Structure 1
Amino acid sequence: MQQNNLKIFIPLFIVLIVDAMGFGLVFPIIGPLLMDKHAGMLPISASIAERSMFYGLTNVSCFLALLLGAPFFGDLSDKYGRKKIIILCLFGIAFGYVISALALIVKSVWLFILGRMIDGFAAGSESIAQAAIIDISPPEKKTINLSLITVAGCFGFVIGPLVGGVFSDPSLNHWFGYMTPFIVALVLTLLNAICLFFTFTETHQALNKGKVQLLKGLTMFKAAFTNKTLKRISVIFLLMQVAWAIYFQLVSLIFTENYHYLPKQIGFFYAYLGLIISFTMMIMIRLFLKFVSEKKLVFIACIIAIVGVLLNILFQSKWMPWISVIFIALGMGLAYACILSFYSQSVSKEHQGWVMGVGNSVIAVSWSIGGAMISLISTAYFSWLLALMVLCYLIAGFSIRQLCLPTK
């Protein structure tokens, strides 16, 4: 990698590591926070089904806001440059953490949901970082470079849950609790913005000063399924992300309700998951791409993920999630960078920020669907959700075989 490109990669790595740390700090505690009868966020008489509903609603609202925010900020970065918009996103995320912390003080679940919505809307930094990497990547290096930038996020997500678990454990310090990870995430996000301001070199010149529509994300999401070039890619991506979202959001509730895990223990699991994805992005994807094409790799990834889900269905024990996640996370990691590369190959250089925003809008809807499924189906019937995951992976796996990418 050239020296000038390294000067761009390193700040982006720092941005994504710290950004993912913030997400990893707070996500593992949301399930226990809402399921804990003594946390005060919901009436002590609230049933498990009601608590699961609010858990799903919290995630749905966050990712529906992401549906609007990610493509909106991605398009903004095409128009006004990457650096300014990433910094704007980071300050928005910081404000969301402030609202969430206030919600814990006043014990308001609706204010907490508002804070998560603000964080979701402002969470466009990853798609902009992806576009910045594409700006400086030759076509033959796009998949590898996208996997590397994803590794940065995974690395942050490994550290985040561990730190969050420590800062939420009152047995270590009397003032640690559910609110502490939000405060730590706030500080990290502000430091992240300052670091980016002084170290990042702009990769994209502004195209124009045209009007930007707040609801353009809805139009972009529609384009994902009406544009002939993007339609099949988006269907495959939607199916795989719905399956991944169900698993990622469900496992916290399963550990809390079935195995009585504390936030610290859930944090350890998410860190373990992040390590698997990081290993996949850094090493496994490179090995696979030496022998198979990107299309075949996505098909293989679906099969691997199905094996992991079936293990959870057939062998329900407290240790099986720690084994099956190896297959599920491996499948997700192998497919993710390949599909982002498919998106990138489908549009011109001038629209890379736009198409990354489109891809992230598909993720937002997928995770909203996953949260809605958890709200509608009690955790007592989690096998139904796992069966839905298998169906999603099966359809995606067979659909990828019919995918035709444009030739340039």
Structure 2
Amino acid sequence: MTEQQAKNSLYTLLLIVLLSCAGIALPYPILAPLFLNEVNGFTTFGGIEPKILLGFLLAIYPLGILIGSSFIGAASDVYGRRKVLVITLIFSTIGYLFSVWALLSENYLLFALTRFITGISEGNIAIAKAIAIDLSPPLDKTRNYSLVSATTYAGWLLGPLIGGLLQPYGAYLAFLVAAVAMVFAIVVVNFYLGESNRSKDTDQHAHLSIRRMLYQNNSFTLLKHKPIRRLFYVFLFSTLATNAYYEFYPLWLVESFNFSGPNIGFITAILTTAMILSSIYLLPIVKAKYGLVKASKISMFCFALMMFSHYLFTESSSWFGYVFIGILIAIYNAMLPIFASEQFADVSQGKLMGLITTTFSLSNVLMAIIGSIISLYGSVYSIMFGGLLMLIAISLLHFSWADNATKKT
């Protein structure tokens, strides 16, 4: 692949990541106000506490991503990135359309099922990360990953902003917009994204049946390697902490300051803008000055402090605090996967990125369940619990990897 071809593939990939992540993030400013402020058959299903119903929905979607990312990234190693990406986008479109139907009919169980199916398809973010690695060389790996990270955050900016603005007109509209975005993404992939995975491994295993591929080539098989297993625990606790923040700051904003859907969308836009700018401009500087591991530990520690500080936040200070939080998340979210890729360069990158995405999704599920129970006593405690988990992640990274990582970075 020439440098220009690699750039064209990268630009196309970034557009797909933007659309996909915007679709993922669209519902976030919608669900919390829906379950706290509205009373109907959907939000009172089975006479269950609305916070528990919300927590289940927050868990079922990443559970789907967990399952999907465990094999979608590995499947792209075998069958090709482009082909697998198109299939997952089709299923995402179907999932969003059925979500619209479930909301209009106030069918909670159908909505939960469609969120699960959509989550499985959204495991394709592992493919995007793998393509970013594939394009190096001729392109720089760190630069590629930084741009993918920035575009991911841009999707997280655009999605909640649109979702928040659409919320007053009906929750279903956000999912309809997401379905349209997925259709556009399918067209773009078909016409503009080239195949980046032209390895001997692909040719050798392309004849595998889906059943054998799932059994022999899923991302969890990497955990039999002790060094990868140790890094898995670092990712697990750090993403548990991150998800404690992601999943419960909208609830905290509603409980503490009575934020509406549009206000949650706006503050999320500020948060993700800080993440985007940091990914593009700050990451290369931080990496050059501190290295991958030291930069990760510093940003993770500061993030933990900000989590504990939520108890002291006022309505006005939260807007400024979320800018700093966005910068911190951008740093360690990019540094840790790049570190993993460099440490295990001999491992299939689709499978490795799938394991990282799977870990994030696993923590998403666990935190949705644990955090929703803790939130019964106050959502701020769910967020502060995340700060404690981040300190554990820092300890694991320091004692298990710091010396080895310093030598290699």
The question of a shared fold, defined as TM-score above 0.5 by the shorter chain, is answered with yes
Aligned 8 A contact 1:72 1:214 in 2: no
The alignment partner of 1:130 has SS state of helix
2:22 corresponding residue in structure 1: 21
1:238 corresponding residue in structure 2: 236
Alignment of 1:8-407 (within 5 A): 8-38=9-39, 40-43=41-44, 50-138=49-137, 141-169=140-168, 176-205=169-198, 206-207=202-203, 208=205, 209-213=207-211, 216=214, 220=218, 222-223=220-221, 225-313=223-311, 315-348=312-345, 351-402=348-399, 403=401, 404=404
CA distance in 1, matches of 2:163, 2:240: 26
CA distance in 1, matches of 2:43, 2:348: 45
Per-residue CA deviation, residues 196-233 of structure 1 (Å, 9 max, x unaligned), is 11011111133322133499499956545542121221
Aligned 8 A contact 1:16 1:126 in 2: yes
Q: Which amino acid aligns with 1:82?
A: R
Per-residue CA deviation, residues 11-57 of structure 1 (Å, 9 max, x unaligned), is 1011011111212222221222222333541239957xx11111111
Aligned 8 A contact 1:311 1:324 in 2: no
Q: Which amino acid aligns with 1:4?
A: Q
Per-residue CA deviation, residues 287-331 of structure 1 (Å, 9 max, x unaligned), is 111211101011111122023113212x14223432332333222
Change (3 A) 1:384 1:38: closer
Per-residue CA deviation, residues 372-401 of structure 1 (Å, 9 max, x unaligned), is 122212344334323322221212222222
Per-residue CA deviation, residues 242-294 of structure 1 (Å, 9 max, x unaligned), is 01101111011122233222211111122111111111211121111121110
Q: Whose helix proportion is higher, 1 or 2?
A: 2
Identity %: 24
CA distance in 1, matches of 2:330, 2:60: 25
TM-score normalised by length of structure 1: 0.91
Aligned 8 A contact 1:62 1:116 in 2: yes
The alignment partner of 2:140 has SS state of helix
CA distance in 1, matches of 2:67, 2:54: 21
The alignment partner of 2:196 has SS state of coil
CA distance in 1, matches of 2:315, 2:128: 37
CA distance in 2, matches of 1:191, 1:372: 34
Q: Which moved more, 1:327-336 or 1:273-282?
A: 327-336
Aligned 8 A contact 2:167 2:174 in 1: yes
TM-superposed deviation, 1:86: 0.8
TM-score normalised by length of structure 2: 0.90
* Runs ≥4 residues deviating over 6 A: none
Structure 1 spans left out of the alignment, 5+ residues: 170-175
CA distance in 2, matches of 1:20, 1:217: 28
Q: Which amino acid aligns with 1:74?
A: G
Aligned 8 A contact 1:299 1:397 in 2: yes
The alignment partner of 1:63 has SS state of helix
Change (3 A) 1:181 1:235: same
CA distance in 2, matches of 1:237, 1:350: 17
Provide the alpha-carbon RMSD of the alignment: 2.5
Aligned 8 A contact 2:68 2:124 in 1: no
CA distance in 2, matches of 1:88, 1:277: 30
CA distance in 2, matches of 1:311, 1:217: 44
Structure 2 spans left out of the alignment, 5+ residues: none
Aligned 8 A contact 2:219 2:351 in 1: no
Q: Which moved more, 1:258-267 or 1:31-40?
A: 31-40
CA distance in 2, matches of 1:297, 1:342: 11
CA distance in 2, matches of 1:46, 1:265: 29
Aligned 8 A contact 1:233 1:342 in 2: no
Q: Which amino acid aligns with 1:329?
A: G
Change (3 A) 1:198 1:168: same
Aligned length: 399
Q: Which amino acid aligns with 2:24?
A: F
